[in-house]
């Protein structure tokens, strides 16, 4: 700017000899300076200058579609106003002309939902009246599913209403009326122990042991502060988990609490242990073998199960421009729709479109930390500037918006306004148990350890080979 002032004062000295060229030159300079300043300000996060993404095959992502299904499953769809069109609605895949499957949408009553299928209004009334004996329709909510079985004249034969897999009611036509009953559900919780060796991926390894990929997801969540499974795990690593498994009428329903888990990577000399300390609210949670809380101030990664496609590199030479254009963040290749979690507790300061970043999210944390998430597909409805978020809370979905050649998360961290390598952020222990608490924890840890050396585990391991 000093040269700029100099130009103006010179122009004033000579104004009587050569007034117009100097005036226009001065104005042009001022406009240029303002434009450059504005551009720099606007592009605070624009200097992402993404690297060429690595192909899925190179990243060894065989589990792509599985992972996509899994991450969707763990996502509360109701948080999002508009889901990507690519997410299939499984209720529309039915081709049986005598069967209608549907889902109650927001602001829709069951009556309207059924009427929209062109069903006989008198039938609908009869079904709903009969169902009122077993279903509390005040408790029903968007997302509840139903099935209508029809005869050749499109009259209702049977109606099934599901509030949850545990709460299913059926109304059936008997002569000219409908009779409703609740389906008897036998819920059983069993504590199981699973141990195995990593084959291709954690998902696949758990499935080879007869467990669902959902358990792999729980497992990864547990150690998310200590290991990035997408890049730090390898074939032959050993895992074990003690978990409650819930069945409904003998069929797998869901997993309950994970009580203990271990992960050992021989090649990397890494051994991780997690034990659930079941006590009062404040201290209950997962601890390592020495009583240090697994939860840290910062997550290891804001996305789970995605490989790094481009690391942080402040001295990166731009392949086209042939000069230093820093990559001031980490890129993770994830399918569109993968949930992004808040890196730490904090306050949203920006959530919206920002040039080459596409949809951008910025969260401010304590101690001068800021986390930045770019190329987002969609934000949950409640994510907007000023909103407080908790660590691990789903704050966005991975997308491919802005200047981006494939779905990925660009993630940056600033400390007091300066970019730092997110991979090097100190993941301090939150706290450690002491005194009586540590004593009680140690006792329960030993109880879990004993349960994990039980015989069924050996059988599980044998089955894995």
331 near Zn ion, judged by CB under 5 A:
yes
Output 329 or 402, the one with its CB closest to Zn ion.
Answer: 329
Q: Smallest gap, in angstroms, from Cβ of residue 50 to Zn ion?
A: 5
Burial (CB < 10 A; 0-12, 13-18, 19+), residue 382, is exposed
**Total residues interacting with Zn ion, rule: CB under 5 A:** 4
| Burial profile 295-307: b = 16 or more Cβ within 10 angstroms, e = fewer | bbbbbbbbbbbbb
Minimum CB distance to Zn ion smaller for 62 or for 400? 400
Among 245, 296, 410, 414, binds Zn ion (CB under 5 A): 410
- Tell the smallest beta-carbon distance from residue 112 to Zn ion (Å): 46
- The SS3 of residue 276 is strand
Q: Are 52 and 405 in contact (CB under 8 A)?
A: yes
Q: How far is the CB of 314 from Zn ion (least distance, A)?
A: 13
> CB burial class (10 A; 0-12, 13-18, 19+) of residue 360?
buried
Nearest approach, Cβ of 201 to Zn ion (angstroms)? 24
CB of 329 to Zn ion, least distance (A): 5
Q: What letter does residue 212 receive in the DSSP assignment?
A: -
Q: Minimum Å distance from CB 383 to Zn ion?
A: 21
Identify the CA nearest to 359 among candidates 59, 80, 87, 9. Answer: 80
Which range touches Zn ion (CB under 5 A), out of 89-97, 405-413, 428-436, 443-451?
Answer: 405-413
The region of 327-335, 336-344, 386-394, 413-421 touching Zn ion under the rule CB under 5 A is 327-335
Q: Which CB contacts under 8 angstroms, 24+ apart, belong to 283-291?
A: 283/433, 283/437, 286/222, 287/433, 287/441, 287/445, 289/445, 290/432, 291/432, 291/433, 291/434, 291/437, 291/438, 291/441, 291/442
Q: State in angstroms the smallest separation of the CB of 297 from Zn ion.
A: 24
Q: How would you classify residue 255: left for phi > 0, otherwise alpha for psi between -120 and 50, otherwise beta?
A: beta
- Nearest residue relative to Zn ion (C-beta): 410
Judged by CB, which is closer to Zn ion: 50, or 144?
50
Tokens 């709903």: give the residue: 128
Residues 362-381 that bind Zn ion (CB under 5 A): none
By CB under 5 A, the residues from 30 to 69 that bind Zn ion are 50
Least separation, in Å, of the C-beta of 278 and Zn ion?
41
Closer residue to Zn ion, CB minimum distance, 213 or 329 = 329
The piece of 29-37, 97-105, 331-339, 390-398 that touches Zn ion (CB under 5 A) is 331-339
Q: Which residues contact 321 (CB under 8 A, 6 or more apart)?
A: none
Q: Which of 325, 298, 164, 134 is CA-nearest to residue 224?
A: 298
Report 209-268 residues binding Zn ion (CB under 5 A): none
Nearer to Zn ion, 329 or 380 (CB): 329
What is the binding site for Zn ion (CB under 5 A)?
50, 329, 331, 410
């Amino acid at each position: 700017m000093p040269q700029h002032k100099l130009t103006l004062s010179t122009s004033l000295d000579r104004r009587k000899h050569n007034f117009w060229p100097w005036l226009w030159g001065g104005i042009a300079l001022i406009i240029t300076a303002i434009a450059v300043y504005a551009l720099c300000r606007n592009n605070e996060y624009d200097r992402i200058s993404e690297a060429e993404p690595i192909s899925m095959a190179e990243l060894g992502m065989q589990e792509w579609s599985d992972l996509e299904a899994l991450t969707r499953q763990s996502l509360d769809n109701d948080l999002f106003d508009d889901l990507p069109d690519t997410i299939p609605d499984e209720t529309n895949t039915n081709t049986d002309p005598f069967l209608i499957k549907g889902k109650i949408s927001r602001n829709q009553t069951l009556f309207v939902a059924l009427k929209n299928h062109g069903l006989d209004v008198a039938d609908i009334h009869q079904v709903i009246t009969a169902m009122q004996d077993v279903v509390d329709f005040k408790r029903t909510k968007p997302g509840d599913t139903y099935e209508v079985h029809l005869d050749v004249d499109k009259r209702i034969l049977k109606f099934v209403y599901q509030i949850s897999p545990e709460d299913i009611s059926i109304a059936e036509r008997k002569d000219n009326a409908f009779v409703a009953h609740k389906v008897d559900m036998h819920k059983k919780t069993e504590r199981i122990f699973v141990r195995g060796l990593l084959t291709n991926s954690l998902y696949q390894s758990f499935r080879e042991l007869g467990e669902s990929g959902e358990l792999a997801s729980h497992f990864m969540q547990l150690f998310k502060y200590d290991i990035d499974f997408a890049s730090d795990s390898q074939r032959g690593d050993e895992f074990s988990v003690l978990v409650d498994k819930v069945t409904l009428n003998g069929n797998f329903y869901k997993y309950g609490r994970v009580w203990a888990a271990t992960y050992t990577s021989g090649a990397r000399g890494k051994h991780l242990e997690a034990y659930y300390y079941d006590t009062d609210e404040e201290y209950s949670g997962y601890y390592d073998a020495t009583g240090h809380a697994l939860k840290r101030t910062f997550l290891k990664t804001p996305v789970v199960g995605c490989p790094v496609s481009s690391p942080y590199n402040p001295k990166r030479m731009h392949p086209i421009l042939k000069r230093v254009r820093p990559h001031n963040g980490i890129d993770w290749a994830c399918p569109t729709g993968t949930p992004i979690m808040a890196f730490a507790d904090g306050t949203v300061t920006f959530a919206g479109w920002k040039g080459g970043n596409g949809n951008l999210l910025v969260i401010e944390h304590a101690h001068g930390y800021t986390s930045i998430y770019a190329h987002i597909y969609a934000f949950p409805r409640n994510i907007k500037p000023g909103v407080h978020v908790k660590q691990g809370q789903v704050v966005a979905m991975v997308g491919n918006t802005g200047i981006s050649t494939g779905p990925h998360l660009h993630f940056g961290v600033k400390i007091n306004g300066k970019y730092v390598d997110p991979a090097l952020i100190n993941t301090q222990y939150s706290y450690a148990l002491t005194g009586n608490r540590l004593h009680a924890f140690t006792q329960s840890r030993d109880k879990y350890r004993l349960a994990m050396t039980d015989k069924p585990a050996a059988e599980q391991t044998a089955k894995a080979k």
